[in-house]
Amino acid sequence: MNVLVVDVGGTTVKILATGQDEPRRLPSGPTLTAEQMVDGVKQLASGWTYDAVAIGYPGPVINNRPLADPHNLGRGWMGYDFEAAFKCPVKVVNDAAMQALGSYEGGKMLFLGLGTGLGSAMIVDGIVEPLELGHLPYKRRTLEDYVGVRGYDRLGKKQWRQHVADVIARLMAALEPEYVIVGGGNVKKLEELPPGCRAGNNAKAFLGGFRLWEGSQAAISSPLPRRTKQRKESTHERTHRTTH
């Protein structure tokens, strides 16, 4: 099966198809509608052959359709029928979940995307759970108000880096992942990553899109191969074991 992967971002829409080496791009932005994106992608993918489409969408997704219009794009995304528009099977997932799926190496992984906002997803033993951690309260605003692009512009690089380290530490303590992938366009602005973290690669979003269709598996709800490393025992599990 030839798959066209579409990674929808706040400033750029990137696409790549099976058998192609170089992604193609078109500008995004606060006025881009779902219909405009589809028309632009069709023109951009001219000459490529594909049987199905995988879309990484910057917002929550339910039943293969956006649950709400994104904060950083135009209107008309909520409930949009991408299969009818592309005239082929389409899978739509949260963009952070798609990049997380492409970065996954087994076990319990937390993905955090430092971009326009804060993308987030978790994968446990191959099961992908898209998250919306960026909207959690943090100090006087939300997490993404401090570690997203607005925080970077408002606070400056030094304070932004401090907040990124603090937010990652808090989320690691709460969610207890085996490892954390920090991706997104702004990961390159970090001087160093906290322990237990490694830098992601935006190109992994394309691999995640291809994985959605590999073997026609529903990657968001079906397990992928586990790593051989044993999962770290949580504090709750240790307490339960020692008291029984």
- Contact predicate 169/188, CB 8 Å: no
Residue 1 and residue 99: Cα distance in Å, rounded?
Answer: 20
pLDDT of residue 72: 84
The stretch 76-91 carries a mean pLDDT of 95
The stretch 225-234 carries a mean pLDDT of 44
Mapping DSSP to helix (H, G, I), strand (E, B) and coil, where does residue 8 land?
strand
Instruction: Return phi, psi of residue 119, to 5°.
Output: -80, 150
Pairwise pLDDT comparison (117 vs 39), residue with the higher score: 39
From residue 230, how far is each of 62, 108, 147, 236 by CA, in Å?
Answer: 32, 10, 32, 17
Pairwise pLDDT comparison (11 vs 219), residue with the higher score: 11
The stretch 202-215 carries a mean pLDDT of 90
At 231, the pLDDT band (50, 70, 90 cuts) reads very low
> In the Cβ-directed half-sphere of 34, how many Cα atoms lie within 13 Å?
24
Pick 105-216's CATH classification: 2.60.220.10, 3.30.70.2190, 3.30.420.40, 2.60.120.260: 3.30.420.40
From residue 11, how far is each of 7, 30, 149 by CA, in Å?
Answer: 11, 8, 12
At 116, the pLDDT band (50, 70, 90 cuts) reads confident
Residue 51 and residue 238: Cα distance in Å, rounded?
Answer: 48
The stretch 80-91 carries a mean pLDDT of 96
pLDDT of residue 71: 82
Pairwise pLDDT comparison (235 vs 200), residue with the higher score: 200
Q: Residue 147 has which token pair? A: 């570690």
Residue 8 and residue 56: Cα distance in Å, rounded?
Answer: 6
CATH topology agreement for domains 3-97 and 105-216: yes
Q: What is the pLDDT of residues 168-178, one digit of tens each?
A: 999 999 999 99
Burial level of 211, CB count in 10 A (0-12/13-18/19+)?
buried
Show me where the domains of the chain are located: 3-97, 105-216
Residue 10 and residue 65: Cα distance in Å, rounded?
Answer: 18
Say yes or no to pLDDT of 219 above 50: no
Say yes or no to pLDDT of 225 above 80: no
One-letter amino acid for residue 216 of the chain: S
Q: What angle do CA 100, 103, 108 make, to 5 degrees?
A: 70
At 111, the pLDDT band (50, 70, 90 cuts) reads very high
Pick 3-97's CATH classification: 1.10.10.10, 1.20.120.420, 3.30.420.40, 3.20.20.70: 3.30.420.40
Residue 71 and residue 220: Cα distance in Å, rounded?
Answer: 24
At 39, the pLDDT band (50, 70, 90 cuts) reads very high
Say yes or no to pLDDT of 214 above 60: yes
Q: pLDDT exceeding 90 applies to what percent of the chain?
A: 77
